[in-house]
Amino acid sequence: MLFHVTLEQAEDGWIVAECPALPGCVSQGKDEKEALENIKEAMTAWLWAEDQKAIAKYTSVESPSFRHELSAAPRNKRQRKPHATTQRRNAVCSSLRLCVVA
């Protein structure tokens, strides 16, 4: 995924990074490199939170397909596969690409 981010220098010298496509997703760093690393982490957290909201919406409705996924889950924790949400979050994190816009 490609996201555009803006970088601005604050009055205190810190670099403020913002992703306009994700409302409220803002971070900062001492330099551009740190600001970009921090905004990438913030974007991953933002996307994960939105995913959790969507899952909560479907679990409150208790759709038949979601109930099937739960009933098919292994009972033994040692045999348990990573949760689908964790897999999606990891996939998002590894596929984020940033494009700094002026």
Exposed, middle or buried: residue 71 (CB in 10 Å: 0-12, 13-18, 19+)? exposed
CATH topology of domain 2-101: Double Stranded RNA Binding Domain (3.30.160)
pLDDT per residue over 4-15, tens digit each? 999 999 999 999
pLDDT per residue over 44-92, tens digit each? 999 999 999 988 887 765 555 554 444 444 455 554 555 555 555 555 5
Global pTM reads 0.65
Q: H helices within the chain, ranges in order?
A: 32-61, 64-71, 84-95
